Structure 1
Amino acid sequence: MIYLTTSVRQFGMTINGETVYTKNTLPVINPANEEVIAQVPHADENDLNLAVHAARAAFPSWAALSVEERAQMLEKFADAIEQNSEELARLFTLEMGRPYQGALQEVSGAAKTVEFYAKQRLPREILQDKDTHYVEKYYTPLGVAGLIVPWNFPVSLAVWKVSPALLTGNTVVLKPSPNTPLTTLYLGELAKEIFPKGVFNVITGANELGAWMTEHSGIDKISFTGSTGTGKKVMQGAAINLKRVTLELGGNDAAIVLEDADPKKVAKPLFWAAFLNTAQVCVATKRLYVHEKIYDELLTELVNYAKTVKVGDGMDPETQLGPLQNKTQYEKVKGIIEDTKRSGAKIVLGGEIDESKPGYFIPITIVDNPADDSRVVVEEAFGPILPVLKYHDYDDVIQRANNTIYGLGASVWGEDLALARSIADRLEAGTVWINEAQVLHPKFPFGGHKQSGIGVEHSLEGITEYTNTKVVMIRKNK
């Protein structure tokens, strides 16, 4: 089977429709065994300038195409992703660590996302048509979009940004995380066979490359997905020349389980709401609040189900959860576990890390009712450690759930849908699910409240983030 091979060929950047290599390179590490699997280009400022220049040169002719012509090329890009989905998924597993089937699901989903965007059209709206005036509103592209993608969803988050940017007539410079560059470089290879030169550029480099992009005078828009701390730096850099920004940042999502929920029914979906992708999801459940009447039973069901889930190398077909993607994240989660132990909180599952074996593996760890001000509750761990918290009063739990700088997602679980909806309406988050979590679709706007971001992705609202609103007013000769 294709995903059992571990060899990786050399990849180059895509600049102005050409494959570009650099003298200096960056290693790509397989998080399951800490082995270097590839070297990729390490772009410097000159490489960035070349990419931006190519994108700027290509912009006028690309923007001048009809939206139908641009959409046709997006549809070809979607087909190319699907046709190469197995190889993309294999690279995904090697560099990111997610089990192959989950990687393949993301890649196929990314192809469908591109296809969805290819069918979207922003409306032209007549604001006034009277004897004296005709007024029309429509949307124009911004120019060059700088797209900065994180390591946890390297394919889907790339196309979330590329698709609306290209559809609306922008050209792009796409930068993946230095931890997961292979799949994005492959997307660049596919794209250069479809789009005109300079329209779709991919560059790879270390973290300073993102900072150079946010300050670059030739980039008109930055779309960034990542941590809140880095998002603040992106906003500061973009302020130099008032770039437009879309920021999808951190989250510390709360799930509230009502007293009428069935512990046997909700334990499994709650587990995956928290631990999918080894909990490396911005909208993962990171704080689980359970009503005291069912707390003990649900905690037991959750622990029992967690014990059945296999953690291991994503190349093993039986693996359900892989390693953390990188050592920095591994050390952070390890520190939170150590702090949890020092605090005296009860760890009912996991918590013991076997450091004698290679790989950034953290066992599934569940903490029984830690203090609200503990690190495991306050911080976004972005790893497989879940605090389960007891409550008895709905007003109190809503206040506790909202007591965070974040506001990305949340969920409510229970049989009384009217009660669940009333609680959902009071939660300070961009998306609130009832009896499910992490369900996203490009037709639904997705964005955060508070320090979880600025702007939205997806939907027509998200597409307009890559445009200027333009009004043309005509005084009639009457």
Structure 2
Amino acid sequence: MSFGIFQVPPPANEPVKSYAPGSPEKQALKAAIADMRSRTVDIPMYIGGEKIYTDKKHRLAPPHDHRHTLGYFSVGDKGHVEQAINAALGAKEMWAAMPWEHRAAIFLKAADLIAGPYRAKLNAATMLGQSKNVFQAEIDSACEIIDFLRFNVHFMQEIYRQQVASAPGIWNRLEHRPLEGFIFAVTPFNFTAIAGNLPTAPAMMGNTIVWKPAFTQIYSANVLMEVFREAGVPDGVINLIYVDGPEAGEVVFKHPDFAGLHFTGSTGVFRHLWQTIGNNLPIYKSYPRIVGETGGKDFVVAHKSADAKAVATALVRGAFEYQGQKCSAASRAYIPSNLWEEVKNYMIADLESMRMGGTEDFRNFINAVIDEKAFDKIAGYIEQAKKDAGVELVWGGNCDKSVGYFIQPTILKVEDNQYRTMVEEIFGPVLTVYVYQPELFEEVLELTDQTSPYALTGSIFAQDRYAIELASRKLQNAAGNFYINDKPTGAVVGQQPFGGARASGTNDKAGAIYNLLRWVSTRTIKETFVPPTDYRYPFMAEE
């Protein structure tokens, strides 16, 4: 029973630690990495209050050192999906009825656990399991997931606070109820924070979750689940299963209590899931909510007035941080001919100074791509580009998977602005540049808008404000997150809500109130204090 109108602590973005030589955070992280490399873990599924182990095991290895075994996880089947759904539905009534401030307290505690005692462990798991360098891990598996939890609690409070006007003698109220049924959260490998946010955002609004992470992210997902359990998330509220996608979908999307999909992954998979849900609409109790963030072919457009050094830095960081495996990574650039040589020389100078290797050596800027399948796909694009006419290999192009899945940052310059690496999502460290004549800037903006089916992120670089205004207007539908004189990556929770439209998803903006609104169903309540007792209205009286 609540006896107050509560105010949650005001959220603030978690500071990024430096990990400078000799710093306590660096010492703690190195110790966590050494400890985790020294042990082989057996990772269970979490269904209801049980840890579920199976006889079918899948090996986990660092992408940058694939001969080393971090552990094994238990692979589930359709029966485990059914079990997880039943656990979620069984926990629903008590969780939905829990006063919101207690749900808030759980997730605020989870944020503090990650900020404190779990920070090194979660960062180490991300560095080892997903081959992120220390900075990329810190901004993801520490700061961003902390921010998601704290800001989402704040947004939850704002949603519950939103009410309607009341007339004399009437009290109107809004109830923001959880959806009727369970939510299916499908999370990607590339961000531990996304893997944490997709189940917790609907959960804090009173929903219960079946969570299926990418197999290549399970090492850090297991640490997240440890945090959630220690924070006090009740049994059955978040159920973590490791089941092949189509096999899980066979059960989830045929269940009458399926209430919503929270998804980050490929455009092709998302479209297939949407179609499956549409075909199954007669089965469901309600129309399911579908929220998805998918692919991108993110652009950087430079105007002739742009600062060449700023453009080069944005391209090197935007294209090659985390090996280009961000949905927002810069993968196509349009550079005017008056700047190209200068931009190219700055980029090459930066790339020559970069070290590539395992994440355990903090001096390495470039690490491995996630697995052999990704390596083969990216390497295939590069090898074909080397053979094709009209393509110049500006930098890189070397690939080696003998020890880890290492692909050298690669810059291609193309004569054909519709060449496949300008159009298709590669999801790796490959940047394709098209050099244009400066007087064709407006045509290039139209080309940028029309080349890709995606609309996730993009950047304009210019000192000329008329050029910035023109690009902002011409590219208004080309990117859900649009950057002016900055790289197209690095959205911060509470500052740049993230998401795109077109083939990039539903643009429901993770890290903002809009996303949480998708996980509630509003009930309007009208209470009349003194109800009428006569059906007659004044207009009916005789003159």
TM-score normalised by structure 2 residue count: 0.83
Residue of 111, 131, 141 corresponding to 1:107: 141
Q: Distance in 2 between matches of 1:407 and 1:73?
A: 35
Kept in 1: contact 2:151–2:511 (CA 8 A)? no
Q: Distance in 2 between matches of 1:389 and 1:123?
A: 49
CA positional deviation for 1:75: 1.0
Distance 1:216 1:26, change over 3 A: farther
Residue 314 of structure 1 aligns to a residue whose secondary structure is: coil
Distance 1:209 1:445, change over 3 A: farther
Aligned residue in 1 for 2:217: 180
Aligned residue in 2 for 1:162: 199
Residue of 62, 65, 68 corresponding to 2:95: 62
Aligned residue in 2 for 1:413: 461
Question: Gaps (5+ residues) in structure 1?
Answer: none
CA positional deviation for 1:79: 1.9
Kept in 1: contact 2:480–2:498 (CA 8 A)? yes
Residue of 106, 112, 118 corresponding to 1:79: 112
CA positional deviation for 1:134: 5.2
1:15 maps onto 2:47 in alignment: yes
Residue 30 of structure 1 aligns to a residue whose secondary structure is: coil
Aligned residue in 2 for 1:225: 264
CA positional deviation for 1:255: 0.7
Question: Gaps (5+ residues) in structure 2?
Answer: 1-29, 533-543
1:119-173 deviation line (CA, Å, top 9, x unaligned): 22214544452358654444211142211111111x2002222332122111122
Aligned residue in 2 for 1:201: 239
Kept in 2: contact 1:14–1:189 (CA 8 A)? no
| Identity fraction in percent | 25
TM-score normalised by structure 1 residue count: 0.94
Residue 229 of structure 1 aligns to a residue whose secondary structure is: helix
Residue 41 of structure 2 aligns to a residue whose secondary structure is: coil
Distance 1:8 1:84, change over 3 A: farther
Distance 1:38 1:206, change over 3 A: farther
Aligned residue in 2 for 1:373: 418
CA positional deviation for 1:178: 1.0
Aligned residue in 2 for 1:119: 154
Residue 119 of structure 1 aligns to a residue whose secondary structure is: helix
1:95 maps onto 2:95 in alignment: no
1:387-418 deviation line (CA, Å, top 9, x unaligned): 11112322211111112111111111122345
Kept in 1: contact 2:292–2:507 (CA 8 A)? yes
1:467 maps onto 2:516 in alignment: no
Query: In angstroms, what is the RMSD of aligned CA positions?
Result: 2.0
Residue of 427, 430, 437 corresponding to 1:385: 430
Instruction: Report the more deviating stretch, 264-273 or 404-413.
Output: 264-273
Residue pairs, 1:235-384, within 5 angstroms: 235-239=274-278, 240=280, 241=284, 242-344=287-389, 345-354=391-400, 357-384=402-429
Distance 1:221 1:76, change over 3 A: same
Q: Distance in 2 between matches of 1:426 and 1:213?
A: 44
Kept in 2: contact 1:214–1:238 (CA 8 A)? no
Name the aligned partner's letter for residue 294 of structure 2: L
CA positional deviation for 1:379: 0.7
Aligned residue in 2 for 1:43: 76
Kept in 1: contact 2:170–2:526 (CA 8 A)? yes
Kept in 2: contact 1:252–1:286 (CA 8 A)? yes
Kept in 2: contact 1:58–1:198 (CA 8 A)? yes
Kept in 2: contact 1:368–1:387 (CA 8 A)? yes
CA positional deviation for 1:269: 2.6
Distance 1:139 1:18, change over 3 A: same
CA positional deviation for 1:206: 2.6
